[in-house]
Amino acid sequence: MSDTYNLRGKVAIAGVGETTYYKHGQSPDPEFKLVLKAILAACRDAGISPKEIDGFCSYSDDRNDPPRLANALGIPELRYSNMQWTSGGGGAAAAVQNAAGAIMSGSARVVVAYRGLAQGQFGRFGRSGGSKPVSGQAAYLLPFGMMSAAQMYAMRTTRLLHDHNIDRSTMRSIALTCYHHAQNNPRAIMRGRTLDDETYDASRWITEPFRLYDCCLENDGAAAMIVVSTDYAKELRDSPVLLLGAQQSGGHRSGAWAENPTDYVTSSFKPAAKYLYEQAGVKPEDVDVVQSYENFTGGVVMSLIEHGLCTYENANEILTFENLRADGGSLPLNTSGGNLAECYMHGLGLQIEAVRQIRGDSSNQVKNAQVALANAGPMVAVASTAIYGSEEALG
């Protein structure tokens, strides 16, 4: 590992927590209350008092701001109040990364990375009603009927299938895998709802090339992760889950308006992967289990390729249901059910699932998982990705 990187193993995830996950609009609680509940759950899991928290990190313009959270929780000192800008849920790993930075610099001691979402209360990303004129990038998209999240990423996926001869079956395998894993996960919204090839193939088009099951859910809930120094984590828990690396990632003009990023067919992870593995001191083949953010299945295909977990050439052979399942697959993927079938918590649930895999308490536990990768936000202007590991993984 290069001297440039000093994050590896210095901070740990002391606790994770989430509320009950609800279908869209069905939370009995307002969003802010959900976030408070998730933070309390993560503190309980970590074995700390909420009063120990002195920093907050979130992303995607989370509406539940740290000053109000600190006030509600009665926190004595608010030392770190942080927001990562991106679109979609691309900041889930970035929130953990920012928390880690705060810990390592001594800016804060106990930082919570969190996300709250009551889409019933506030509406979904990209759902665009109203009649007022739009300007800026929206003026180049909305009048043409391009406004939903699926529509924002459909055309990259069209190009992925076209440029690299990726088979649509890769997208189906990802959807099937998520639903399969959700069946064992008591938190999963889609537990009890199985998915097979025929159901996927017969499902309606949202926008070609995405069918219904290629698209993430809409949910209400909140999730939180407690980030502390590894030294403190060891006081709290025998074998803490370490953060080995974390990276934000956007390529040349990745945020260019109206489909003008220089590199078009990308999950935005090309810059990340080269730093991430070097930081973490592991290689793609060391990754035991992957949580890869599914806004849409096509983005997962790009993400896995750009993380070096398969290639454009072998993606059609590697990305099969048999390979992706936790029970016996060679590349276990989205073992909680992910954004497609556990809950769409803008990807923080995937970060939490990576932690559970290293602890050994996932509902679809991969045997002896030591290194877990969890990414966020494929195809957005700034994506983020992280690797978690056990002390054993440090070597």
Among 151, 184, 199, 323, indicate the residue that binds another protein (CB under 8 A).
151
Residue 344 a catalytic site member: yes
Among 6, 49, 137, 314, indicate the residue that binds another protein (CB under 8 A).
137
Least Cβ distance, residue 161 to another protein (angstroms) = 10
Among 159, 164, 168, 237, indicate the residue that binds another protein (CB under 8 A).
159
> In which residue are the tokens 């959270």 written?
69
- For residues 240 and 335, what is the distance between their CA atoms, to the nearest angstrom? 20
Enter the tokens of residue 152: 């924002």
> In which residue are the tokens 């926008």 written?
207
Query: Which of the ranges 152-160, 270-278, 322-330, 332-340 carries the binding residues for another protein, by CB under 8 A?
Result: 152-160
DSSP H helical ranges for 251-360: 270-280, 297-306, 315-318, 321-324, 338-341, 348-359
Query: Treating both helix axes as pointing N-terminal to C-terminal, what angle do 348-359 and 92-104 enclose, rounded to 10 degrees?
Result: 60
- The dihedral region occupied by 287, where left means phi > 0, alpha psi between -120 and 50, and beta the remainder, is beta
**Does 154 engage in binding with another protein (CB under 8 A)?**
yes
Query: Treating both helix axes as pointing N-terminal to C-terminal, what angle do 168-182 and 297-306 enclose, rounded to 10 degrees?
Result: 100
Cα–Cα nearest to 215, from 296, 147, 292, 153:
296
**Does 367 engage in binding with another protein (CB under 8 A)?**
no
Query: Which is closer to another protein, CB of 109 or CB of 159?
Result: 159
Among 28, 74, 136, 186, indicate the residue that binds another protein (CB under 8 A).
136
**Does 395 engage in binding with another protein (CB under 8 A)?**
no
**Does 168 engage in binding with another protein (CB under 8 A)?**
no
Least Cβ distance, residue 327 to another protein (angstroms) = 34
Query: Treating both helix axes as pointing N-terminal to C-terminal, what angle do 297-306 and 270-280 enclose, rounded to 10 degrees?
Result: 50
Q: Is 52 strand, coil or helix?
A: helix
**Does 155 engage in binding with another protein (CB under 8 A)?**
yes
Least Cβ distance, residue 129 to another protein (angstroms) = 7
Least Cβ distance, residue 226 to another protein (angstroms) = 38
Query: Which is closer to another protein, CB of 44 or CB of 159?
Result: 159
50 preceded by a cis bond (ω within 30 of 0): no
Query: Which is closer to another protein, CB of 122 or CB of 144?
Result: 144
- For residues 216 and 336, what is the distance between their CA atoms, to the nearest angstrom? 14
Q: 22, 179, 293, 388: which is the annotated catalytic residue?
A: 293
**Does 385 engage in binding with another protein (CB under 8 A)?**
no
Encoded one letter per residue, x for contact with another protein by CB under 8 A and - for no contact, window 203-222 reads: -xxxxxx-------------
Decide if 150 contacts 124 (C-beta within 8 A): no
Encoded one letter per residue, x for contact with another protein by CB under 8 A and - for no contact, window 238-257 reads: ---------------x--xx
- For residues 243 and 224, what is the distance between their CA atoms, to the nearest angstrom? 16
**Does 141 engage in binding with another protein (CB under 8 A)?**
yes
In the complex, the residues that contact another protein under the rule CB under 8 A are: 126-148, 150-151, 154-156, 158-159, 162, 204-209, 253, 256-260, 264
Active site residues: 293, 344
